[in-house]
Chain A
Amino acid sequence: MKRVAVQPQDFDAAAELAALEALGGGGVASFTGIVRGEGGLVALELEQYPAMTQAQMARIVDDAMARWPLLGVSVIHRVGRLEPGARIVFVGTASRHRTAALESCAFLIDWMKSDAPFWKKEYFDDGRTAWVAARSEDDARARAWQR
């Protein structure tokens, strides 16, 4: 099972997990990213490169499936305006082996952060806006998987 979605609407993490559990592998790992409301943040706007995003996410999923023995992967990334507490991203993996499920889940979110064409703009309660700057630690985390 391979599911890749880019969508404005919310997703049901429990339903995604249930679909992965039904594959019968015995191990399911997941990561859900949530908008933090720090420093007066009132919303994030997630922009994407529509012609490229889905294909690039599918390439990252294919890399994970080639590297670990996975029965299923589900990756969902939201776009558009998201308020604090909203879910942004979901990564779920199913395998017969917990190490494969856990490691591939970390790999997928690290690469999703550093290698999928999304950009975040922050809106604050005093009217300020700011584009989020890429963090070199995020890039380093993704590159660290290239051992």
Chain B
Amino acid sequence: MGPLTIVYFAWVREAIGRDQDVVDHPGPGATLADLVAMLAGRGGGYAQALGDSARLRAAIDQQFAPLDTMIGDAREVAIFPPVTGG
């Protein structure tokens, strides 16, 4: 299905040490949680940032989405902590 870009923000970005990765698209039936688990399996900073999914929020193609959402044909997924603006 081509590439999927994953962007990281705040302490997720800092723990991983990168602001984005490009991976092979895991397929439309994969959920955000599946993607998070796959990335956490890389160990190191990925495991530290992504090991506890309860602390994470996400977006699919720039729209907030719960972690049980299927990725579908999205081109960009974002993984980040709960937002703290305002």
Contacts and interface: CB of A to CB of B under 8 A. Distances in A.
B7 A112 contact: no
A119 B81 contact: yes
Nearest to A121: B10
A77 B85 contact: yes
Q: Secondary structure of the A side of the interface?
A: mixed
Interface in A91-147: 109, 112-121, 131-134, 138-139
A133 B64 CA distance: 18
B53 to A, nearest CB: 15
| Count class of interface residues, chain B | 10 to 19
Interface string B66-86: 000000000010101111111
A114 B86 CA distance: 8
Given A47-B9, A49-B9, A51-B62, A119 B78 contact: no
B10 A47 contact: yes
Contacts, number: 72
A47 to B, nearest CB: 6
B80 A132 contact: no
Contact of B83 (A33, A55, A134): A134
Contacts of A88: 86
Interface residues of A, number: 29
A66 interface: no
Interface string B1-41: 00000010111000000000000000000000000000000
B77 to A, nearest CB: 12
A61 interface: no
Contacts of A119: 9-10, 80-81, 83-85
A133 B10 CA distance: 11
B59 interface: yes
A113 B80 CA distance: 15
